[in-house]
Amino acid sequence: MLTLDKFEQASEIVKKVTTPTKLVYSEYLSSQSGGKVYLKPENMQYTGAYKVRGAYYKISTMSEEEREKGLITASAGNHAQGVAYAAQKFGCKATIVMPTITPLIKVNRTKSYGADVVLHGDVYDDACAHAIRLAEENGYTFVHPFDDLDIATGQGTIAMEIVQELPTVDYILVPIGGGGLVTGVSTLAKMLNPKIQVIGVEPAAAASMTAAIKAGGPVTLDSANTIADGTAVKRVGETIFPYAQKNIDRILTVEDDELIGAFLDMVENHKMIVENSGLLTVAALKQLDLKGKKAVSVLSGGNMDVITMSSIVQHGLIQRDRIFSVSVLLPDKPGELVRVAATIANAQGNVIKLDHNQFVSTNRNAAVELRITMEAFGTEHKHEIMKALEDEGFRPREIGAKLY
């Protein structure tokens, strides 16, 4: 069972491997929401995520015999690194099964902690099934990523730290994947102060806890296709579900597009890299009435590869009209390109890409196409640039922006 004694014990034990993640007050998010918003930056942990808490506490509860058999788990990244690092601290062997599509940086980091990595399957569920088979064949001790009460106890230590630092917290927002984190946090929070509302947040395309609550028990989703890969779980845990069902006050869902904007908010206002799953709790704030309330958003992790980061930034800038593209038709004669560029410059736009197509029409004297990608300060500024082009007679047509 999940008990206060075990949570208190776990809180002391995990201090051996965790970095103190003091709450960060967000002036930007507070001004947006009308309440006082704090961030719990678990993305700043040594392994880049909260997962080391549950992994280390779980291993601490094992017998020497269980550790000597070697540990095995399945994960797309954060749990993998948590188990690998925790196993290294206990001096035991760890094997991690990861999906074949796992970014190389996560594979290499997991290996750097001394673990053996096996790549298998396209999604977590395939990797997990393979890890269970390997455990049976080789006698390894399986460490489940979320459906384990000791794992949930370790993850729940986050709630202990939040309440100790901010005793008057009203809301704690927690990302939900398989359910281990939200189970631990919600259960302990209610033990410490039943008035605290714990709000779980899921990707809309992988809302497995929402489905489970509705059905009265875990169900398997047909798919879990979301950019929040750390929470892309088709089925929540059976063992932990009763605790989650009892202690979660509300579940919100977030669309992938909202995570893109949240990523930009974190980078620009807090200079922090937070992975898409960790941004669920930031994106969900706009769904709550926080006037006069204190809320803590748990940023569960920050393990994002640079290529994904680049793509998110590009889409975010386009989404917020800070990058946009237009097509204009103009006669093929000297000076027209300069006239377009001058119009944009006078409106404080910044051209970053030009495509000049002379063959859009058989009559080049009548029209050639110029596609311009430019930077703006936002939607209002974009409209000002478009009007400036119209006033000069260019009749601009907005098109989908692409930087590459």
**What is the structure's pLDDT at 298?**
98
**What is the structure's pLDDT at 255?**
96
51-142: CATH class = alpha beta
**What is the structure's pLDDT at 401?**
77
Q: How far does CA 275 lie from the centroid of its chain?
A: 4
> Largest alpha-carbon pair distance within the chain?
84
Enter the CATH code of domain 321-399: 3.30.70.260
**What is the structure's pLDDT at 403?**
64
**What is the structure's pLDDT at 404?**
60
Query: Which among 51, 58, 190, 382 is annotated as catalytic?
Result: 51
Domain ranges of the chain: 4-49+151-316, 51-142, 321-399
Question: How many other CB atoms are there within 10 angstroms of residue 346's CB atom?
Answer: 11
Closest CA to 282 of 50, 38, 48, 47: 38
Beta strands 141-142; 71-74: pairing state: parallel
**What is the structure's pLDDT at 366?**
60
pLDDT tens track for 180-189 = 999 999 999 9
**What is the structure's pLDDT at 104?**
81
**What is the structure's pLDDT at 305?**
83
Catalytic (active site) residue 223: no
4-49+151-316: CATH class = alpha beta
pLDDT tens track for 7-55 = 999 999 999 999 999 999 999 999 999 999 999 999 999 999 999 999 9
**What is the structure's pLDDT at 362?**
56
Same fold, 4-49+151-316 and 51-142: yes
- The pTM score is 0.89
Catalytic (active site) residue 51: yes
Query: Which among 26, 33, 277, 300 is annotated as catalytic?
Result: 300
In whole angstroms, give the CA distance from residue 189 to residue 13: 19
**What is the structure's pLDDT at 337?**
87
**What is the structure's pLDDT at 361?**
61
Residue numbers in the chain where pLDDT is lower than 70: 358-366, 403-404
Bridge partner list, 197: 171
